[in-house]
Amino acid sequence: MKRYSFCPVCGAALSRAAAGTSSIVTIHRCPSCHFEFWQNSKPAVGALATRSIGGVPHVLLTRRGIEPYKDYWDLPGGYLENGEHPRDGLAREIREELRARATVLDLVGSDIAEYPRDDVAEEARFVLVLYYRCEISADDPLIPGDDVVEARWFPLTSLPTRLAFEANRKALALLDSLVTH
């Protein structure tokens, strides 16, 4: 992990302290203003939106309009804002990405994903993704917005090969086991 030398709030030199008894979590604490910067994974949410079409379970995927993985298929979702509840954040992301309303249901699972970008510091690459099942209103057209260029329902048994993020592959496999068993 990169060690920050100065406080982003007041500019004083930072000290490093371990959180609790774990040496895994790094906290940079400002001795001057007491600001604490925790180096942990950034929280995000992903939608496992399903719908039966012709009696076959389908999942909603979006085609990314930005790097990384531009033009790859992805689950709708994104980063949480500071203090935002994950359910609210997922509903917000679906509104921003698809101009649609979502009912966020149950938490299905979580995973750590690496967000590979050259312009992001190493410690900022890791994302904790919370995956929720959700329903998208059938009355809402899926209108791509934000960083999405297309949205499409795919049969769970016939997903595209160009999927963004390994964590999404695992979440889709988990969804498939939940839907088919």
- The pLDDT score that the predictor gives to residue 173 is 95
Q: Taking the domains of the chain in order of start, what are their residue ranges?
A: 1-39, 42-180
132 CB-near residues (< 8 Å, 6+ apart): 45, 46, 47, 48, 86, 87, 90, 104, 105, 106, 107, 108
- The pLDDT score that the predictor gives to residue 40 is 82
Pick the CATH number of 42-180 from 3.90.79.10, 1.20.1260.10, 3.40.50.1980, 3.20.20.20: 3.90.79.10
Assess contact for 98 and 164: CB atoms under 8 A.
no
pTM of structure = 0.85
Extract the residue ranges of the chain whose pLDDT is less than 50. 18-21
Task: Please report, as a single letter, which amino acid is at residue 118.
Answer: D
**Residue 26: which region, alpha, beta or left (left: phi > 0; alpha: psi -120 to 50)?**
beta
40 CB-near residues (< 8 Å, 6+ apart): 25, 128
For 111, other C-beta atoms within 10 Å of its C-beta total: 18
- The pLDDT score that the predictor gives to residue 36 is 82
pLDDT tens, position by position, 92-118? 999 999 999 999 999 999 999 988 766
Pick from 160, 96, 170: nearest CA to 129: 170
**Residue 81: which region, alpha, beta or left (left: phi > 0; alpha: psi -120 to 50)?**
beta
pLDDT tens, position by position, 118-129? 665 565 678 999
- The pLDDT score that the predictor gives to residue 18 is 43
Name the strand (E) or helix (H) holding 98.
helix 86-98
**Residue 174: which region, alpha, beta or left (left: phi > 0; alpha: psi -120 to 50)?**
alpha
Distance linking the first and last C-alpha atoms of the chain: 42
- The pLDDT score that the predictor gives to residue 15 is 66
